[in-house]
């Protein structure tokens, strides 16, 4: 399955993206999904600004600071290092699930022992 997923990701990545790219000369050209993803990684690594028009027709300006994780990702990719996906939130989530499972099992075992003790004392 892993190889199949990789093949599908590669195939889909080479498809044209819905958006187009306007280069420095003003030429509009179609881009692939892979290129759009690469541009988004660069955009987040360098930081960017957005402007939105609100319902009351005021303009909101928002500045996004450069993302250190994206910067690290780009540096490691450009140096040819293997970039293992690691997310502290995923690790902590797995740890929380593990702790909850342990607590649940311990509570179940304690209930069984207490029920057994109660049954023996009633006899």
pLDDT in the model for residue 89: 57
Q: Is 78 among the domain residues?
A: no
Q: Is 98 among the domain residues?
A: yes
C-beta separation of 71 from 45 below 8 A: yes
How confident is the model over 71-89, as a mean pLDDT?
77
The domain of 96 spans 86-123
Q: Is 37 among the domain residues?
A: no
Q: Is 34 exposed, middle or buried (0-12, 13-18, 19+ CB in 10 A)?
A: middle
pLDDT reading at 96 higher than 80: no
Q: Is 54 among the domain residues?
A: no
pLDDT in the model for residue 112: 81
pLDDT in the model for residue 107: 80
CA gap 71, 109 in Å, rounded: 48
Strands 16-22 and 28-32, by their bridges, are antiparallel
Q: Is 115 among the domain residues?
A: yes
Q: What count of other Cβ atoms lies within 10 Å of the Cβ of residue 121?
A: 7
Q: Is 118 among the domain residues?
A: yes
Q: Is 119 among the domain residues?
A: yes
pLDDT digits (tens, 9 = 90+) for 14-27: 999 998 899 889 99
How confident is the model over 30-57, as a mean pLDDT?
93
Q: What is the mean pLDDT of the chain?
A: 84
Q: How many domains does the chain have?
A: 1
Q: Is 64 among the domain residues?
A: no
């Amino acid at each position: 399955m892993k190889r199949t997923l990789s093949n599908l990701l590669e195939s889909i990545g080479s498809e044209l993206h819905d958006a187009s790219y306007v280069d420095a000369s003003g030429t509009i050209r179609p881009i692939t999904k892979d290129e759009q993803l690469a541009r988004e990684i660069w955009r987040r690594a360098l930081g960017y600004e957005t402007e939105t028009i609100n319902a009351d027709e005021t303009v909101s300006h928002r500045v996004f600071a450069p993302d250190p994780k994206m910067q690290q990702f780009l540096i490691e990719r450009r140096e040819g290092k293997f970039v293992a996906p690691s997310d502290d939130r995923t690790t902590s989530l797995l740890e929380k699930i593990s702790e909850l499972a342990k607590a649940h099992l311990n509570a179940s075992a304690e209930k069984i022992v207490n029920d057994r003790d109660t049954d023996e004392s009633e006899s």
